[in-house]
Structure 1
Amino acid sequence: MRAPVVENNRCNCAALRKASRRLSQLYDAALASSGLKATQFAILAEIERRQEAAPTMRDLADALVMDQSTIGQNLRPLERDGLIALVLDKADRRRRHVTLTKHGRSRFAAARPLWETAQTRFESHFGKQEAANLRAALSTIAEAPMDPGPSWFSPRHESPR
Protein backbone atom coordinates (compact mmCIF):
# COMPACT_ATOMS: atom_id res chain seq x y z
CA MET A 1 0.00 0.00 0.00
CA ARG A 2 1.34 3.42 -0.95
CA ALA A 3 1.79 6.16 1.58
CA PRO A 4 -0.33 9.24 0.91
CA VAL A 5 1.34 11.92 -1.15
CA VAL A 6 2.17 15.00 0.84
CA GLU A 7 1.75 18.09 -1.29
CA ASN A 8 3.75 21.16 -0.38
CA ASN A 9 2.09 23.16 -3.13
CA ARG A 10 -1.34 22.22 -4.43
CA CYS A 11 -1.27 24.75 -7.27
CA ASN A 12 -1.76 22.79 -10.49
CA CYS A 13 -0.59 25.70 -12.60
CA ALA A 14 2.69 26.09 -10.70
CA ALA A 15 3.39 22.35 -10.83
CA LEU A 16 2.67 22.24 -14.56
CA ARG A 17 4.88 25.27 -15.25
CA LYS A 18 7.77 23.74 -13.28
CA ALA A 19 7.45 20.48 -15.19
CA SER A 20 7.17 22.40 -18.47
CA ARG A 21 10.37 24.32 -17.75
CA ARG A 22 12.21 21.09 -16.88
CA LEU A 23 11.05 19.35 -20.06
CA SER A 24 11.87 22.43 -22.13
CA GLN A 25 15.41 22.31 -20.74
CA LEU A 26 15.71 18.64 -21.76
CA TYR A 27 14.40 19.21 -25.29
CA ASP A 28 16.25 22.51 -25.80
CA ALA A 29 19.53 20.81 -24.83
CA ALA A 30 18.85 17.93 -27.21
CA LEU A 31 17.93 20.28 -30.07
CA ALA A 32 20.76 22.78 -29.46
CA SER A 33 22.99 21.59 -32.30
CA SER A 34 20.11 22.11 -34.76
CA GLY A 35 19.82 25.77 -33.80
CA LEU A 36 16.17 25.28 -32.82
CA LYS A 37 14.44 25.62 -29.47
CA ALA A 38 11.73 23.15 -28.43
CA THR A 39 9.04 25.77 -29.09
CA GLN A 40 10.34 26.38 -32.61
CA PHE A 41 10.53 22.64 -33.28
CA ALA A 42 6.90 22.25 -32.15
CA ILE A 43 5.82 25.04 -34.51
CA LEU A 44 7.69 23.50 -37.45
CA ALA A 45 6.23 20.08 -36.60
CA GLU A 46 2.68 21.48 -36.64
CA ILE A 47 3.29 23.20 -39.99
CA GLU A 48 4.83 19.99 -41.38
CA ARG A 49 1.84 17.97 -40.14
CA ARG A 50 -0.47 20.28 -42.08
CA GLN A 51 1.64 20.52 -45.24
CA GLU A 52 -1.24 19.40 -47.50
CA ALA A 53 -3.26 22.46 -46.47
CA ALA A 54 -1.02 25.20 -45.09
CA PRO A 55 -2.47 26.59 -41.87
CA THR A 56 -3.30 30.23 -41.43
CA MET A 57 -1.64 32.06 -38.57
CA ARG A 58 -4.93 31.75 -36.64
CA ASP A 59 -5.13 27.99 -37.33
CA LEU A 60 -1.57 27.59 -36.10
CA ALA A 61 -2.21 29.69 -32.99
CA ASP A 62 -5.32 27.64 -32.17
CA ALA A 63 -3.52 24.31 -32.72
CA LEU A 64 -0.65 25.37 -30.44
CA VAL A 65 -2.93 27.06 -27.87
CA MET A 66 -1.30 30.46 -28.35
CA ASP A 67 -2.82 33.85 -28.98
CA GLN A 68 -2.14 35.45 -32.36
CA SER A 69 0.36 38.01 -31.09
CA THR A 70 2.41 35.24 -29.43
CA ILE A 71 2.39 33.07 -32.55
CA GLY A 72 3.44 36.13 -34.55
CA GLN A 73 6.37 36.76 -32.21
CA ASN A 74 7.39 33.10 -32.46
CA LEU A 75 7.13 33.04 -36.26
CA ARG A 76 9.28 36.15 -36.87
CA PRO A 77 12.65 34.49 -36.17
CA LEU A 78 11.64 31.43 -38.21
CA GLU A 79 10.71 33.68 -41.13
CA ARG A 80 13.88 35.78 -40.70
CA ASP A 81 15.97 32.59 -40.80
CA GLY A 82 14.19 31.43 -43.96
CA LEU A 83 12.56 28.39 -42.33
CA ILE A 84 8.98 29.47 -43.02
CA ALA A 85 7.17 31.71 -45.45
CA LEU A 86 3.99 33.71 -44.83
CA VAL A 87 1.84 33.52 -47.95
CA LEU A 88 -1.15 35.80 -48.53
CA ASP A 89 -4.44 33.98 -49.06
CA LYS A 90 -5.59 34.53 -52.66
CA ALA A 91 -9.26 34.78 -51.64
CA ASP A 92 -8.78 36.89 -48.50
CA ARG A 93 -5.65 39.03 -48.43
CA ARG A 94 -6.07 39.64 -44.68
CA ARG A 95 -5.19 35.98 -44.03
CA ARG A 96 -1.68 34.59 -44.24
CA HIS A 97 -0.82 30.92 -44.55
CA VAL A 98 2.33 29.56 -42.94
CA THR A 99 4.45 27.18 -45.02
CA LEU A 100 7.79 25.50 -44.54
CA THR A 101 10.46 26.57 -46.98
CA LYS A 102 12.91 24.07 -48.46
CA HIS A 103 15.42 25.24 -45.85
CA GLY A 104 12.78 24.81 -43.13
CA ARG A 105 11.97 21.25 -44.20
CA SER A 106 15.69 20.45 -44.23
CA ARG A 107 16.29 21.95 -40.77
CA PHE A 108 13.22 20.18 -39.38
CA ALA A 109 14.37 16.84 -40.83
CA ALA A 110 17.83 17.32 -39.31
CA ALA A 111 16.34 18.20 -35.90
CA ARG A 112 13.88 15.30 -35.80
CA PRO A 113 16.44 12.66 -34.66
CA LEU A 114 17.59 15.04 -31.91
CA TRP A 115 13.97 15.41 -30.77
CA GLU A 116 13.62 11.60 -30.87
CA THR A 117 16.63 11.34 -28.56
CA ALA A 118 15.00 13.67 -26.02
CA GLN A 119 11.71 11.81 -26.37
CA THR A 120 13.40 8.44 -25.76
CA ARG A 121 15.38 9.81 -22.83
CA PHE A 122 12.24 11.16 -21.16
CA GLU A 123 10.24 7.99 -21.76
CA SER A 124 13.03 5.72 -20.50
CA HIS A 125 13.21 7.76 -17.29
CA PHE A 126 9.49 8.40 -16.80
CA GLY A 127 8.07 5.26 -18.44
CA LYS A 128 6.49 4.86 -21.87
CA GLN A 129 2.98 4.22 -20.58
CA GLU A 130 3.24 6.98 -17.99
CA ALA A 131 4.40 9.38 -20.72
CA ALA A 132 1.44 8.35 -22.90
CA ASN A 133 -0.93 8.87 -19.95
CA LEU A 134 0.64 12.25 -19.26
CA ARG A 135 0.21 13.34 -22.89
CA ALA A 136 -3.43 12.23 -22.80
CA ALA A 137 -4.11 14.18 -19.60
CA LEU A 138 -2.33 17.27 -20.91
CA SER A 139 -4.22 17.05 -24.22
CA THR A 140 -7.50 17.01 -22.28
CA ILE A 141 -6.44 20.22 -20.55
CA ALA A 142 -5.14 21.87 -23.74
CA GLU A 143 -8.32 21.04 -25.67
CA ALA A 144 -10.69 22.28 -22.95
CA PRO A 145 -12.77 25.35 -23.75
CA MET A 146 -11.48 28.74 -22.67
CA ASP A 147 -14.34 29.24 -20.19
CA PRO A 148 -13.48 26.97 -17.25
CA GLY A 149 -17.09 26.54 -16.19
CA PRO A 150 -18.65 23.44 -14.62
CA SER A 151 -18.28 21.40 -17.83
CA TRP A 152 -14.64 22.38 -18.39
CA PHE A 153 -13.40 18.80 -18.42
CA SER A 154 -14.89 15.74 -20.01
CA PRO A 155 -17.69 13.95 -18.16
CA ARG A 156 -15.28 11.43 -16.62
CA HIS A 157 -13.95 14.24 -14.42
CA GLU A 158 -16.08 15.63 -11.68
CA SER A 159 -16.32 19.39 -11.47
CA PRO A 160 -15.29 20.98 -8.18
CA ARG A 161 -18.11 21.85 -5.79
Structure 2
Amino acid sequence: MSNLPEPYATTLHIRDHCLCLHAQQAARALSRRFDEVFRPLGLTSGQFSLLNSLNRPSPPTISQVAATLGMDRSTVTANLKPLERSGAVIATVDAADRRGRRVALTSAGRDLLARATPIWIATHQQLEAELDAGEADRMRGGLRRLLEA
Protein backbone atom coordinates (compact mmCIF):
# COMPACT_ATOMS: atom_id res chain seq x y z
CA MET A 1 0.00 0.00 0.00
CA SER A 2 1.35 3.45 -0.98
CA ASN A 3 1.81 6.33 1.45
CA LEU A 4 0.90 8.73 -1.36
CA PRO A 5 -2.62 10.12 -1.13
CA GLU A 6 -3.02 9.75 -4.90
CA PRO A 7 -1.20 7.70 -7.52
CA TYR A 8 1.92 9.35 -8.94
CA ALA A 9 0.14 9.54 -12.29
CA THR A 10 -2.28 12.02 -10.68
CA THR A 11 0.65 14.14 -9.52
CA LEU A 12 2.05 14.18 -13.05
CA HIS A 13 -1.36 15.07 -14.49
CA ILE A 14 -1.70 17.98 -12.06
CA ARG A 15 1.86 19.13 -12.81
CA ASP A 16 1.11 19.17 -16.52
CA HIS A 17 -2.45 20.58 -16.46
CA CYS A 18 -2.95 22.75 -13.36
CA LEU A 19 -3.70 26.30 -14.48
CA CYS A 20 -2.94 27.64 -11.01
CA LEU A 21 0.50 26.01 -10.94
CA HIS A 22 1.32 27.19 -14.46
CA ALA A 23 0.17 30.73 -13.65
CA GLN A 24 2.30 30.76 -10.49
CA GLN A 25 5.36 29.50 -12.36
CA ALA A 26 4.87 32.04 -15.15
CA ALA A 27 4.33 34.87 -12.65
CA ARG A 28 7.56 33.97 -10.85
CA ALA A 29 9.50 33.80 -14.12
CA LEU A 30 8.11 37.15 -15.27
CA SER A 31 8.84 38.74 -11.89
CA ARG A 32 12.43 37.50 -11.99
CA ARG A 33 12.86 38.89 -15.50
CA PHE A 34 11.54 42.32 -14.58
CA ASP A 35 13.40 42.31 -11.25
CA GLU A 36 16.62 41.85 -13.21
CA VAL A 37 16.03 44.76 -15.60
CA PHE A 38 14.85 47.06 -12.79
CA ARG A 39 17.78 46.15 -10.49
CA PRO A 40 19.99 49.07 -11.70
CA LEU A 41 17.23 51.42 -10.49
CA GLY A 42 17.02 49.70 -7.09
CA LEU A 43 13.47 48.67 -7.94
CA THR A 44 11.62 45.35 -8.00
CA SER A 45 8.85 44.37 -10.38
CA GLY A 46 6.36 44.57 -7.53
CA GLN A 47 7.52 48.06 -6.61
CA PHE A 48 7.19 49.13 -10.24
CA SER A 49 3.58 47.90 -10.27
CA LEU A 50 2.93 49.70 -6.99
CA LEU A 51 4.45 52.97 -8.26
CA ASN A 52 2.46 52.66 -11.46
CA SER A 53 -0.77 52.12 -9.50
CA LEU A 54 -0.13 55.44 -7.74
CA ASN A 55 0.30 57.34 -11.00
CA ARG A 56 -3.17 58.93 -10.93
CA PRO A 57 -4.62 62.44 -11.05
CA SER A 58 -5.32 62.29 -7.30
CA PRO A 59 -3.77 60.14 -4.56
CA PRO A 60 -5.62 56.84 -4.11
CA THR A 61 -6.53 55.21 -0.83
CA ILE A 62 -4.75 52.06 0.28
CA SER A 63 -7.97 50.17 -0.52
CA GLN A 64 -8.01 51.52 -4.07
CA VAL A 65 -4.39 50.49 -4.60
CA ALA A 66 -5.14 47.05 -3.15
CA ALA A 67 -8.08 46.62 -5.55
CA THR A 68 -5.97 47.70 -8.54
CA LEU A 69 -3.19 45.25 -7.68
CA GLY A 70 -5.41 42.39 -6.48
CA MET A 71 -3.73 42.45 -3.06
CA ASP A 72 -4.97 42.81 0.48
CA ARG A 73 -4.53 46.14 2.27
CA SER A 74 -1.95 44.84 4.75
CA THR A 75 0.27 43.57 1.91
CA VAL A 76 0.03 46.92 0.12
CA THR A 77 0.94 48.72 3.35
CA ALA A 78 3.96 46.47 3.91
CA ASN A 79 5.11 46.90 0.29
CA LEU A 80 4.80 50.68 0.53
CA LYS A 81 7.21 50.94 3.47
CA PRO A 82 10.47 50.62 1.47
CA LEU A 83 9.15 53.09 -1.10
CA GLU A 84 8.27 55.52 1.70
CA ARG A 85 11.73 55.10 3.25
CA SER A 86 13.36 55.80 -0.12
CA GLY A 87 11.28 58.95 -0.57
CA ALA A 88 9.44 57.68 -3.66
CA VAL A 89 5.99 57.84 -2.06
CA ILE A 90 4.30 59.67 0.76
CA ALA A 91 1.31 58.50 2.77
CA THR A 92 -1.04 61.03 4.35
CA VAL A 93 -4.23 60.81 6.38
CA ASP A 94 -7.31 60.74 4.16
CA ALA A 95 -9.14 64.04 4.72
CA ALA A 96 -12.47 62.38 3.83
CA ASP A 97 -11.97 59.51 6.28
CA ARG A 98 -9.43 60.16 9.03
CA ARG A 99 -9.10 56.39 9.62
CA GLY A 100 -7.67 55.84 6.14
CA ARG A 101 -4.57 56.92 4.27
CA ARG A 102 -3.91 58.15 0.77
CA VAL A 103 -0.65 57.49 -1.01
CA ALA A 104 1.02 59.70 -3.59
CA LEU A 105 4.15 59.66 -5.69
CA THR A 106 6.73 62.23 -4.67
CA SER A 107 8.79 64.03 -7.29
CA ALA A 108 11.48 61.37 -6.69
CA GLY A 109 8.84 58.66 -7.20
CA ARG A 110 7.63 60.24 -10.44
CA ASP A 111 11.25 60.45 -11.63
CA LEU A 112 11.86 56.80 -10.72
CA LEU A 113 8.70 55.73 -12.54
CA ALA A 114 9.72 57.84 -15.56
CA ARG A 115 13.10 56.06 -15.66
CA ALA A 116 11.56 52.61 -15.14
CA THR A 117 8.76 52.86 -17.69
CA PRO A 118 10.98 52.75 -20.82
CA ILE A 119 12.71 49.69 -19.34
CA TRP A 120 9.30 48.07 -18.79
CA ILE A 121 8.23 48.94 -22.36
CA ALA A 122 11.38 47.44 -23.92
CA THR A 123 11.24 44.31 -21.76
CA HIS A 124 7.53 43.85 -22.38
CA GLN A 125 8.07 44.18 -26.14
CA GLN A 126 10.75 41.48 -25.94
CA LEU A 127 8.38 39.20 -24.01
CA GLU A 128 5.57 39.64 -26.50
CA ALA A 129 8.00 39.03 -29.39
CA GLU A 130 8.79 35.64 -27.85
CA LEU A 131 5.13 34.63 -28.19
CA ASP A 132 3.16 33.75 -31.30
CA ALA A 133 1.17 36.52 -32.97
CA GLY A 134 -1.91 37.34 -30.91
CA GLU A 135 -0.90 35.00 -28.09
CA ALA A 136 -0.27 37.78 -25.56
CA ASP A 137 -3.71 39.27 -26.22
CA ARG A 138 -5.33 35.83 -25.85
CA MET A 139 -3.47 35.26 -22.58
CA ARG A 140 -4.52 38.65 -21.21
CA GLY A 141 -8.11 37.98 -22.28
CA GLY A 142 -8.18 34.55 -20.67
CA LEU A 143 -6.67 35.83 -17.44
CA ARG A 144 -9.17 38.73 -17.30
CA ARG A 145 -12.06 36.30 -17.78
CA LEU A 146 -10.76 34.19 -14.89
CA LEU A 147 -10.51 37.30 -12.72
CA GLU A 148 -14.09 38.27 -13.54
CA ALA A 149 -15.46 34.79 -12.86
- Code of the residue aligned with 2:143 in structure 1: it is L
Q: Does 2:121 correspond to 1:116?
A: yes
In the other structure, the counterpart of 1:89 is 94
Matches within 5 A, 1:1-161: 8-48=15-55, 51-127=56-132, 129-142=134-147, 144=148, 153=149
C-alpha RMSD over aligned residues = 1.6
SS of equivalent to 1:126? coil
Distance 1:37 1:137 in 2: 26
Superposed displacement of residue 128, structure 1: 5.2
TM-score normalised by L of structure 2:
0.85
Distance 1:120 1:127 in 2: 13
- Structure 2 unaligned segments of length 5 or more: list them: 1-11
Higher helix share: 2
Distance of aligned partners of 1:29 and 1:127 in 2 relative to their CA distance in 1, 3 Å threshold = farther
Q: Given that residues 55 and 97 in structure 1 are in contact (C-alpha distance below 8 angstroms), is that contact kept between their aligned partners in structure 2? A: yes
**What's the % identity of the aligned pairs?**
34
- Code of the residue aligned with 1:137 in structure 2: it is G
Give the paired residue count.
Answer: 137
SS of equivalent to 1:92? coil
TM-score normalised by L of structure 1:
0.79
Distance 2:114 2:108 in 1: 10
